[in-house]
């Protein structure tokens, strides 16, 4: 990762206020809900990590001295934990008497920072939107109240380790083809502290720490989402030998809502309206995070149109138009089947064609109209909407034969059939 100061665009002597201003500016610039460029989300995370380190005086000091290597264990890397390399380092310097006072084991004798803890917390959709103060219960290590962290019974105290004579380290000679070397290692008896507890505290077993249950009130800010991490300083495990406590990290999971959905900073709802509402417009009631709210459906609205709810910032409603029993929609145009009798189709007629909005319009049917013919009624489809012109209404002729014709009707039809051209005669040549 790039240098944290470079990520935030500040100098190494920047004061806390300058850091905060720069972080807020960059966070707004690269927030995934605002910046859709590839890599913006990764940049946003890097900026957050940089500010988290540099805004804390202790972690900033470690970063200034050791870089990212100083952030892993809460202090300077312990050479005593580096295996063979540290042993070799100690071997060379011990052979010359240069490590009598400052070996790797000595570093273990000072205060040690406590471990960080993690708490997974599930909150409701409403709590995530508006924020809330939640009471949680955790188990962590605190300094023993009986021995005050010393690990020893009252009236006693740590004694010098007899194995290492209080040095916290032991030396052993190693013969090699290059000569004899003295190797330094942490004392196995006192684990590098140089002291042992001869009469341990009964409450903590000599550890100086005891596990306790504790209630905390966590302030959850408005607008959090699943995956948000909150840091509660100094509520992790207590440190040993007077070291600082670790931190508590709260990882949030937000429950889903039965009718609302979150998209970045916007809250989406979905409603279904019927065809007449889509054509004529209407005022309906929709759910929002603040409760039910009126929503005006403009006449001629498109299917899947997004509407904002007045007075409800960040509330967006997706409108779906339900299917209709006899109307079909294609973009701005509407169509339906218009039944005609054989007589009307053959001789021609003027019929009343129903309009979707109510009422009807006179439609002239030319003589000899065939079934399936589509006739256009201009401007009677979906009304104009958002600068888009009104659509057209199309009626599709469907010739309906008489139901249960009488003997007289049948006789007349047979007589007519003999007088008119057989339509299949036009394709008779295909048989040959």
Q: Mind listing the domains of the chain with CATH numbers? A: 1-77 (1.10.287.110), 110-158+197-256 (2.60.260.20), 260-321 (2.60.260.20), 328-425 (2.60.260.20)
Region class of 163: left (phi > 0), else alpha (psi between -120 and 50), else beta: alpha
pLDDT at 32 over 80: no
Task: Report yes or no: 182 and 94 within 8 Å, Cβ to Cβ.
Answer: yes
Q: What is the reported pLDDT for 82?
A: 36
Q: What is the reported pLDDT for 319?
A: 67
Looking at mean pLDDT, say which of 124-138, 165-179, 323-337, 381-395 comes out highest.
124-138
* pLDDT digits 0-9 by tens, 65-90: 667 766 754 433 333 333 333 333 33
Q: What long-range pairs does 197-200 form, CB within 8 A, spacing at least 24?
A: 197/151, 197/152, 197/158, 197/159, 198/152, 198/156, 198/159, 199/152, 199/153, 199/156, 200/151, 200/152, 200/153
Residue 273 to residue 303: CA distance in whole angstroms = 10
Q: What is the reported pLDDT for 408?
A: 85
1 — pLDDT class (breaks 50, 70, 90): low
Q: What is the reported pLDDT for 132?
A: 94
Residue 48 to residue 27: CA distance in whole angstroms = 8
Match 């109240």 to its residue by tokens. Answer: 145
Residue 184 to residue 108: CA distance in whole angstroms = 14
Residue 274 to residue 62: CA distance in whole angstroms = 64
* pLDDT digits 0-9 by tens, 132-186: 999 999 999 999 999 888 888 888 888 888 888 888 888 877 666 666 677 788 8
Residue 396 to residue 373: CA distance in whole angstroms = 6
Match 């899947």 to its residue by tokens. Answer: 304
Contacts of 175 (CB under 8 A, 6+ apart): none
């Amino acid at each position: 990762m790039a240098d944290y100061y470079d990520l935030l665009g500040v100098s190494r002597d920047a004061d806390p206020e300058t850091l905060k201003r720069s972080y807020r500016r960059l966070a707004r610039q690269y927030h995934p809900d605002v910046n859709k460029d590839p890599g913006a989300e990764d940049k946003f995370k890097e900026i957050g990590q940089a500010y988290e380190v540099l805004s804390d005086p202790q972690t900033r000091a470690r970063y200034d001295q050791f870089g990212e290597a100083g952030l892993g264990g809460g202090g300077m890397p312990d050479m005593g934990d580096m295996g063979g390399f540290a042993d070799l380092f100690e071997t060379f310097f011990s052979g010359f008497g240069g490590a009598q006072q400052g070996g790797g084991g000595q570093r273990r004798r000072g205060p040690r920072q406590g471990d960080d803890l993690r708490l997974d917390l599930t909150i409701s959709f409403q709590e995530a939107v508006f924020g809330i103060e939640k009471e949680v219960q955790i188990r962590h290590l605190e300094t023993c109240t009986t021995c005050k962290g010393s690990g020893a019974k009252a009236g006693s105290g740590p004694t010098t380790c007899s194995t290492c004579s209080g040095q916290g380290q032991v030396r052993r000679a190693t013969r090699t083809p290059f000569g004899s070397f003295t190797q330094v290692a942490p004392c196995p008896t006192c684990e590098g502290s140089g002291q042992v507890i001869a009469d341990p505290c009964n409450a903590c077993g000599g550890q100086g720490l005891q596990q306790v249950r504790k209630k905390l009130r966590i302030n959850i800010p408005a607008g959090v989402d699943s995956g948000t991490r909150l840091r509660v300083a100094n509520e992790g495990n207590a440190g040993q030998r007077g070291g600082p406590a670790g931190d508590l990290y709260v990882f949030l999971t937000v429950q889903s809502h039965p009718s609302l959905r979150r998209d970045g900073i916007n809250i989406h709802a979905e409603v279904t309206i019927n065809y007449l509402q889509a054509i004529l417009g209407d005022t309906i009631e929709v759910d929002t995070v603040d409760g039910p709210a009126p929503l005006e459906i403009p006449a001629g609205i498109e299917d899947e149109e997004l509407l904002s709810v007045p007075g409800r910032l960040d509330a967006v409603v997706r409108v779906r138009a339900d299917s209709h029993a006899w109307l079909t929609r294609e973009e701005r145009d509407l169509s339906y089947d218009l039944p005609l009798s054989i007589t009307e189709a053959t001789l021609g007629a003027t019929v009343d064609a129903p309009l979707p909005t109510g009422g009807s319009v006179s439609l002239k049917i030319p003589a000899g109209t065939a079934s399936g013919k589509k006739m256009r009624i201009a401007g009677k489809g979906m009304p104009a909407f958002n600068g888009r012109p009104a659509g057209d209404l199309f009626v599709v002729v469907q010739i309906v034969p008489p139901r249960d014709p009488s003997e007289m009707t049948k006789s007349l039809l047979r007589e007519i059939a003999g007088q008119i051209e057989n339509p299949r005669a036009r394709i008779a040549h295909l048989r040959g």
